Structure formats: C-alpha cells, structure tokens
Structure 1
Amino acid sequence: MSANVTVRGSDDVTASETAAVETAGAGGAVGAVARDRTVAVVGTGTMGQGIAQVALVAGHPVRLYDSAPGRAGEAVAALTARLDRLVEKGRLDAGAREAAVGRLHAAAELDELADAALVVEAVVERLDVKQQLFADLEKVVGDDTVLATNTSSLSVTAIAGGLRRPGRFVGLHFFNPAPLLPLVEVVSGFATDADVATRAYETVKGWGKTPVRCADTPGFIVNRVARPFYAEALRVFEEGAADPATIDAALRECGGFRMGPFELTDLIGQDVNEAVTRSVWESFHQDPKFTPSLAQRRLVESGRLGRKSGHGWYTYADGAERPEPHTAPPAPAPAKIVVRGDLGPAEPLVALFEEAGIEVRRKKGDGGFIKLPGGGELNLADGESSYEYHEEEIVYFDLALDYARASRIVLSTREGTAPETLAEAVGLFQALGKQVSVIGDVPGMIVARTVAMLVDVAADAVGRGVATAEDVDTAMRLGVNYPVGPLEWAAKVGYRRTAGLLRGLHERYPTGRYAPSVALMRRSYAEDAEDSR
C-alpha cells in the first residue's frame, strides 16, 4: 500500500544497482548476507519479482517460490525478460546477464528454500496467511536464516508472534517498484534481535538501497508521517475553501511538492490511499490526527478510484480537460509597502519586493506583517483567519518552501474584505512574477497547515522512538519525494511558530486533531530557551 510515483520503466537499473553488479562477490558490508548465499523470495507478484531482481542484480543466488503452481516458473521467465531488456538498453552487461540468469531458480516446494540465508515474503496482506507461511518456513530453514516480511500495513510483531525464534524476524518494507525506488524501511518488531536488524540493514544497503531503521508502529515511518499531506488538503476541500486543482497547485507551486494530494491519490488509487489512512487510524485507536475523510470515502463508494477507473478527483477519459487552478486576474502593484517586525520564514520576500521596484520601509514592532498602502495588512498564515478581525482589513498569505522559486502564492481573506485591499495584495505578489490564487477564509490555509501537521506527526514519531530525525527525513524524501524532510522544514520555519500555528488551529477545531504533540512542544520550548541565551 505504499504511495509512490514511478517516472521510469520497471525494468530500469539505478546507478547504485549497477555498482552492486560491478562489486558482486566482494562480500558487501560487514554483517550483510554474503553474496554467495541464497536469497529466497516467497510471492511472485510485482513486488516479489522486484525484490528478487534487486537481490539478483546484487549478485546473490535467488530462489522464487509461490504457492500457486507454475507461478514461480513464470516469474523466472519474466525476470529473465527484464534482464534481456536491460542488456538491449545498454544498462546491463551481457556477461552479467548470463551470470544472473544462472543464479535464478524457481522452487516447486517450500523445502527447496532450506539453504536460504534470507527469506523475504511478499504475499497477500493477510495476517493469518503470513503467520502460517512463516510457521511453515521455520520448519524448513536453518536457525540462522533471517526471515523478513515486506508488509506495509500489518504488525511485524504480530506476524512473528507464533514463531519459535521470533528474534530472527524483521520487516523489510520495499517501495514499489523495488528495482527503482531506493528506500527500504527496516522494521524491528518487539522481539527482533538487534543483530538481525543490523544484518538486514547492511544487506539491503549492500544492494544499493538506502535503508532506514524504525520500530514496529502503524504505518512505520512513511505511511504514518505522510497522512497529513492528504488529510489537510481534504479538510480544506471539505470546508469549501478551495477546489482540488487549486489545492494541488498550491502544494506544488508554492509548497514545492512534486505532486498535489488530489492528483497523487488519483495515481495511487483512492481505494488504496483511503485504506492505508483507515488502517493507520484504526491502529492508533481512532486518534483524531489520523481521521479519514468522508469526501474520500464517498469517492471510493462511487467507484471513482482515480486513473485506474478513469475518474477520481479528475477525469482521465481521452480528450478530458484538466481543471485549472483558480488564478486571480492582473492587478496593479502598490508603489510602496511597510514591513513591520520580522516576517520569519517569509523574510526573503522583502528583498524580492525591493528587486521588483517596490519601495519597502521597515518598521520595528512585535509580530511581523506587511502594511499595504490602503491600510490593509498581509499576514503569514498563523492558524487564525480573517473573519476574526471585524475592524481590520486582514489578508493572509501562505507559507512557501522558497519564495524566490515559488511560481504561485496563495491568499486567503474573508468575504467582507474591501476589493481594493485584496487587489493591492494580489498586485504585490504579481509584481514578483507570481501567479496568485485566492481561497476562502480557512485557518492555516493550505501549505502552512499541511507542513505544521507533517512536522507534528514526524516530531511525535521521533519522540516516541519510532526512528531518528535523520531517518524520518530521509524516508520522507526518498519514499514519497518530499522536497525536504518534515524536520528539515521545521528548522527552517521554527518549532515555536509551528506549535503556535497548531495551537491556533486547535482553538478553532477543538477535536484534538491539531493539539501539538508533547515532542513538538519540547522542541518549541528548547528553541525558546536557545533564543533567550
């Protein structure tokens, strides 16, 4: 159920995998499974074949097993054809191809895996099926064999619960397609031995992958931390503040994400994405931070599953036009503005305004905002909304990953805001060469509330010992193509500002969803202490 975007063919070999071919037989990193030892893969679907290809290209003998008669043989033929295509494309040496084919075998019976040093399972996502498989495997393989599951949604601890030797069991969560995507989550269950986790880690690292360590928790790292990226977009849509095309554009063109959440869930499959969200929510005993979306549920119930069904948030029929994001018409730029206080992460805008020929006067004061010539104020999204300011003309602007590179800026204001004030705000950002989208009056806007929630969930995971901050950021960059990791972003925005935005959202939505985690508050207090020195 991993949410990944493929941009190359599934038979491509990455540079790191090519290096693995060239160094095959070198023994790999200390603690890794030796290259002359057999790696067995149980389950020969897309993921099973992908994992087998990775191990094979790295130099291991590989044995494939599937409970369905004939499937393993078909998988061997399919993998051989993939290697042939790689040779045709010049991505694999003919000699390496011959050697790899010679190491690839189908197993008709489970006991043919007896000599495997590592067995990776990639069968159906059912706990009972996986538990029975590993119980049977344990009767066949040696006591030093590492047993691994590629599950993306089940508990590693639960799968290993009935084993005689649960310490040699570990999660190896590859991302689809396994030959292309570098990330592997190495998941330690409650009983996993530390040296087994290290052996698994070093093995996949030797295969040219980027492993990250994590504890056995619902969603592991990626599927846990990624939930707010979809959830907050759906919340903004459900509140009627913006349409999917505008929300997608905001997160792409302002937030720096490769794809927006609506187009991404259409690609993943609405049923798959919603199932992962629901699984994480239920595993966390219906924690409001992970509450599924009713709008997405209705989409799934209607059969609009995305690209695979021809219709999701967008229509994919031949000739169908893609909806355009809301973009404000041209407006004149104000000749001068006043910037009061420090704009925080939006401070780079000052230099951009000056470069555009707008006169900027700085003024000291608490808080940071931009004063427009007509008296209105521009504020960076902070968890409040314009409707709360009845006697002031307040326009909010959204957070950007990089204001210089952002091609779109999003504004939010209440219905009663004077048209002249909004026009000045629109014209100010258009003077920087940006397109401007105006959305409804929603606290936290789009990018700011999404990033704040990503930071909160990531900080909470680190605080609970799920993974290190470095591994969380690495996982989110490589697993779902985030422009920066959540905790990298937090360092840029500031933990105090992030916690303040969430407190503002919590005050306006008192369900517990936006209550800052204890881990985030600790980081906020530490930042306060550091600033006061």
Structure 2
Amino acid sequence: MAALEQGSIVAVIGSGAMGAGIAQVAAAAGYPVKLFDTRPEAVEKAIADIGKVYTTLVEKGRMSGEAAIAARARLHSVATLKEVDDAALVVEAIVENLDVKRMLFADLENVVGDDCILATNTSSISVTAIAAQLRRPQRLVGMHFFNPVPLMALVEVISGLATDPAVAATVYATATAWGKNPVHAKSTPGFIVNRVARPFYAEGLRLLQEQAADAATLDAVMRDCGGFRMGPFELMDLIGHDVNFSVTQSVFNAYFGDPRFTPSVLQQEMVNAGFFGRKSGRGFYHYGESAAKAAASQEAAHARPEVVSISIDADVPDTVTHPLEQRLAGAGFTVGHRKPLPNAGENEAPAFHCNGAAIFLTDGRSATERASANRHPDTVLFDLALDYGKATRIALARADQCSDTAWNAAVGLFQAAGFVVTRLDDVPGMAVMRTVAMLANEAADAVNQGVCTVPAVDIAMQKGVNYPRGPLAWANAVGIAHIVSVLANLAAAYGEDRYRVSPLLRRKLANGNGF
C-alpha cells in the first residue's frame, strides 16, 4: 500500500508538544498541514515555534533554506474543525481521555469525507474502544508517535478490531515517507513499547528495594555494563514518577492484575511524597544548582592474580567467556584451560578460576545458592554485559560462603582487565541479566499473542526507547537456553508467577531455533 500522495492535506488536532511535533514532521515531508486547537493562540505559537526550529536546522546545516521556507509555508492554522473537511488524514493529539477522544472523532466524522483516515496518537487507550461508536470504525487507526516527535524515529501503527488493514498499511507507508520507522501492532494494553518496557523499571525498583545496591550504582551498571543510555532510576526521574507509576498501574489493571506488571510499593511512596523526579526537584536523585551528583560505588583496588584458567565443556568457545578470555589475554594473562571441577555437584562449566575462586555468569540463582549446589564455597558471579570487549564496568556478586581471599582475587582479575568492578549484593539474577531476561520474556509474549512480529518488537524497543539491542536479538545473543534458565531460576527463587517463562521462549528452546 502506498503512502498518501504529497499534496494530500494532513490535519493535526491539538497543538501541544506532540501535535506540534507531528505537524513539523509532516510539513517538512512535503504535506500541507492544518493545525487546530481549541485555543487559537496556542496554534499560532506552535507554528511560530516550528518556524524557529526550521531556522535552527538551516543554521546547523541539516535543512536547506529553500526547504525550510517551503515547509513553513505548508503550515496553516484553522479556527474550526469544519475547516479540515478536505483532509486526507486527521491525526488527533489531545488529552488522554476516552470520552473526549470519542467526541472529537464523532464530530470529525460529520466534517471529513468518507475516504479520510482518522488516526489517534493515544499512548494507552484502546484504539478499538475509541473507534467503537463511529459510523465507520474501520477507518480509525492508532498512529502513536514518541516524544520528541522530530527526534524519535518510532511510530506504532495500531490496529483496533475494526481497523481496515488497508488503512493501517497506508498510515504505515505514510509514516515511512515522513522519515519514521513504523511498526504494526495490535490494540492491546501498552501496545508494544509501554508493555515491553515495564520490566526495565520494575526489575530496577525491585533490586533497589532488595538492597542490591543504591540507585546511582544500579544506574551505572545498566549504563556501563548493559549499554543502556540511561539507568532505570534516572529515566524514571526524567519521565516523572507520577506519569511512570500511572502507566504501570494502567497496564496492570488492563491485564486484570497480571503479577508480571505489578506496580512497585517503592514507587508508590515516591508519588505519595511528591518526589516526582526532575520536575519536582527530587526523585531518586536531587536536582538543582546545589545538588551533588550521586556517585556509583566501586571496589577498592586489589592485587592482580598470577594465574587464571577457564573450565569448558566444548571445543567451541562460549559466546560470553570467549570475549572475556580475549580481554584477559590482552591484559597479559595466559588463560589456561581445564576440565570442570571434579567435586562439582552439577555441570558448572564454563567458569573462570583464580586463587580458588570459581567465577560464573549469573544464571538467575544467587551466588550463595550456586555455591551450595556446586559444593564450591568460593563462588563469584558476574553480570551480563552488552559487549564484554568494550564494557567499562562489570558487576560481581559473592556467595555468603566465599572467602575474602577468593573475592579479592576475582575483583583483582577484572580490574587488571580494565573493568571498574561494582559489587552487588547477592540477589538472584543480578541486574542486567534479570532485566534483559524479563524484557525478552515480555517481548516473546507480545509476539506469541499476535501483538506484533519479532522484527517489530526489536525495532520498537530500539527506536522508541533507545535500547542498545532489541530484546529478542539479545535473547539470541545470550542464548535462549540461558534466558529460560534465568527466568526459571528467578521463578523458583521468588515463587512468583511474575517470572513465568513465555510459551514462545520454551518453544524456541525445544525446537533449537532462535528468533
């Protein structure tokens, strides 16, 4: 299906940040735009501000002067809804209220032609519900942009139960023509991004509540190890805890209390206190000119161990231990190979060994539990990293049984390889691993339930919230078997349905295929 032809009129209802951003993008892509708001002065301000943005883009060499003049000329303010009667596409970007949106679209149906596409920019309301009372519900579709619209590439094209597939296809193609990365999604609570992203916040909040580390340390681990642009606490402070908590509550209620989406008591307390984040001057961090920047914790320097070895089970190097082995070699270590520990209670390879310490990638169990199972008290775990060759930090956890000698040797080993070492308390799954496993689990469930495709969920999370890797691509990289083990071990540790494994992950494990 082709995009709307250039020259087709696009009407945008609502001139706030989202509506103005949509108007800016559409006009720059060559489409005449009619901008309407119940406050005429807001429309004039929005158009003036868009003109300033075009001027700035010209000054930065990102837009030609001719293109800026032409784009500005395509922006028109209208005083009444009747003036959008010639629109080929109307995009609504008004308050998130079902009744208000229904009234607007009912009014629009009496104005626009029968072939006009109606689109809602809702981030949380059912597209099916919005369309339900229309005479022609098949022409209404979700067109969910992300803020700030000119900078964020993702557009979720959301089909309600009545949406005509041809309408969704046209909007998808039009979003592409506007320079965006659209993905198709089914109208379900949270769509793709607001659903799949819940574990990023939820696992961080649980780790903080369980005293794995403080907020600044957990944020540093997620950034420096996991490759995320922001950690969960600084991101929640930026979004606003009132907003973030409300979205979590909405998704939780919409899924009839599914424990996977359970809101955090800790975040509820932040909202109760009025600690909303940046906008209130205080969240998990303090803001303002006199506020000191919170520092992440790190281990003191320890001596470099003289000998390190790795136990392996196969000739093919493990995808995690191999890059670490290369990094250790680059630091001057000669890494010897050995068979698994003879006294292991189960197959414990692959593992690094130095000064009696056995150092494993977390599999969802605590170090203490793993030490007991392996009958090796000097057990240390390390967390997942996006790229062990480039990561600047690594998170370690020690078993309660672990000696100081073994712990210090493990810390010294990673420090010698150029890592800042951060200790997490011995919580199951550590930080990056449990978060990535839960993101992959939720993404797999979204695909399994027909909300979207595998490529769509990975694109959505990378383009919509700037994840360093799509969650299902990450599951492939870590290994489906390991992701399933992490989730199963978390479920066993907590005894909660929150960590149940997606049927699609189990299916991929059984058939031996990745995503």
Structure 1 and Structure 2 fold alike (TM over 0.5): yes
Q: What is the Cα deviation at residue 268 of structure 1?
A: 1.4
Report the equivalent of 1:427. 412
Within-5 A mapping of 1:301-340: 301-340=272-311
Map of 1:350 onto structure 2: 325
1:183 corresponds to 2:158: no
1:522 equivalent to 2:507? Answer yes
Alignment partner of 1:376 out of 357, 365, 370: 357
Closer, same or farther in 2 for the Cα pair 1:39/1:373, shift >3 Å? closer
| 347 and 374 in structure 1: CA distance in 2 versus 1, 3 angstrom threshold | same
Distance 1:440-1:54 versus aligned 2 partners, 3 A rule: same
Take 1:483 and 1:322, find their aligned partners in 2: how far apart are those partners? 25
| Number of residue-to-residue matches in the alignment | 500
Paired residue for 1:300? 271
Kindly report which structure 2 residues correspond to 1:193-212, keeping only aligned pairs within 5 A, or say none: 193-212=164-183
The superposition leaves residues 22-63 of structure 1 with CA deviations (integer Å, 9 ceiling, x where unpaired) of: xxxxxxxx6211111110000110110000011111111111
Could you tell me how far apart the structure 1 residues matched to 2:77 and 2:58 are? 22
Q: How does 1:240-279 map to 2 (within 5 A)?
A: 240-279=211-250
Of 388-397 and 83-92, deviating more is: 83-92
- 1:134-149 equivalences under 5 Å are 134-149=105-120
Query: SS of the counterpart of 2:302?
Result: coil
SS at match of 1:116: coil
CA distance in 2, matches of 1:348, 1:263: 30
- Does structure 1 conserve the Cα–Cα contact (< 8 Å) formed by 2:310 and 2:353? no
Q: Work out whether residues 383 and 449 of structure 1, in 8 Å CA contact, stay in contact via their aligned partners in 2.
A: yes
Contact 2:6–2:30 under 8 Å retained in 1: yes
Q: Distance in 1 between matches of 2:55 and 2:417?
A: 51
- Any conservation in 2 of the 1:354–1:360 contact (CA below 8 Å)? yes
Q: Which amino acid aligns with 1:107?
A: V
Give the share of equivalent positions with the same residue, in percent: 51
Following the alignment from structure 2 to structure 1, what is the Cα–Cα distance between the partners of residues 467 and 71?
34
Q: 1:436 aligns with which of 393, 406, 421?
A: 421
Cα separation, 1, equivalents of 2:503 and 2:301:
45
Contact conserved, 1:269 with 1:308, CA < 8 A, in 2? yes
**How far apart are the structure 2 equivalents of 1:89 and 1:334?**
52
Q: CA deviation at 1:102?
A: 2.9
Comparing 150-159 and 95-104, the one that deviates more = 95-104
265 and 84 in structure 1: CA distance in 2 versus 1, 3 angstrom threshold: same
Deviation of 1:190 (Å): 0.8
Cα distance in 2 for partners of 1:516, 1:371 equals 29
Distance 1:367 1:386, change over 3 A: closer
Please provide the CA RMSD for this pair.
1.6
Residues 346-405 of structure 1: CA distance to partner in whole angstroms, max 9, x if unpaired? 332122222222232212444324353432311110111122235522111111111110
Q: Distance in 1 between matches of 2:296 and 2:42?
A: 46
Match of 2:135 among 142, 150, 164: 164
- Return the offset for 1:465: 1.2
Deviates more, 1:381-390 or 1:165-174: 381-390
1:346–1:399 CA contact under 8 A, matched in 2: no
Distance in 2 separating the partners of 1:361 and 1:102: 69
Q: Which residue of 2 aligns with 1:488?
A: 473
Q: Which residue of 2 aligns with 1:367?
A: 348
Tell whether the 8 Å contact from 1:334 to 1:372 is kept in structure 2 after alignment. Answer: no
> Conserved in 1, the CA contact under 8 Å of 2:321 and 2:350?
no
For 1:115, give the aligned amino acid: D
Give the corresponding residue for 1:39.
10
- Secondary structure class of the residue paired with 2:384: coil
* Structure 1 residue 290, shift from structure 2 partner: 1.1
Bigger Cα displacement from structure 2, 356-365 vs 285-294: 356-365
Q: Give how far 1:72 is off.
A: 2.6
| Contact 1:185/1:214, CA 8 A, preserved across alignment | yes
Distance 2:95 2:441 in 1: 32
Aligned residue for 2:266, secondary structure, equals helix
User: Equivalents in 2 of 1:205, 1:76: separation in Å?
Assistant: 23
Contact kept, 8 Å, 2:352 with 2:360, in 1: the verdict is: no
Kept in 1, the 8 Å contact 2:299–2:421? The answer is yes
Alignment gaps of 5+ in structure 1: 1-29
Equivalent-residue separation in structure 1 for 2:360 and 2:504 (angstroms): 27
Give the counterpart letter for 1:502 in structure 2.
L
Q: Which amino acid aligns with 1:98?
A: I
Residue 356 of structure 2 aligns with an amino acid whose one-letter code is G
| 2:461 alignment partner, one of 451, 464, 476 | 476
Segments of structure 2 that go 5 or more residues without pairing to the other structure are 341-346
User: 2:396 is matched with which residue?
Assistant: 411
Q: Aligned partners of 1:346 and 1:454: how far apart in 2? A: 23
**TM-score (normalised: structure 1):** 0.91
Amino acid at match of 2:188: T
Contact preservation (8 Å) 2:364, 2:490: yes
Contact 1:372 1:421 survives alignment (8 Å): no
Secondary structure at the residue paired with 2:429? Answer: coil
CA distance in 1, matches of 2:58, 2:228: 34
Deviations 1:429-469 (A, max 9, x none): 01101110111110100011011001100111111111111
What letter is aligned with 2:66? G
* Paired position in structure 2 for 1:464: 449
Q: How far off is 1:416 after superposition? A: 4.0
In structure 2, C-alpha distance between the alignment counterparts of 1:102 and 1:347, rounded to whole Å: 58
User: How far apart in 1 are the matches of 2:387 and 2:30?
Assistant: 43
Which residue in 2 is equivalent to 1:512? 497
Corresponding residue number in structure 2 for 1:81: 52
Q: How far did 1:74 drift?
A: 3.3
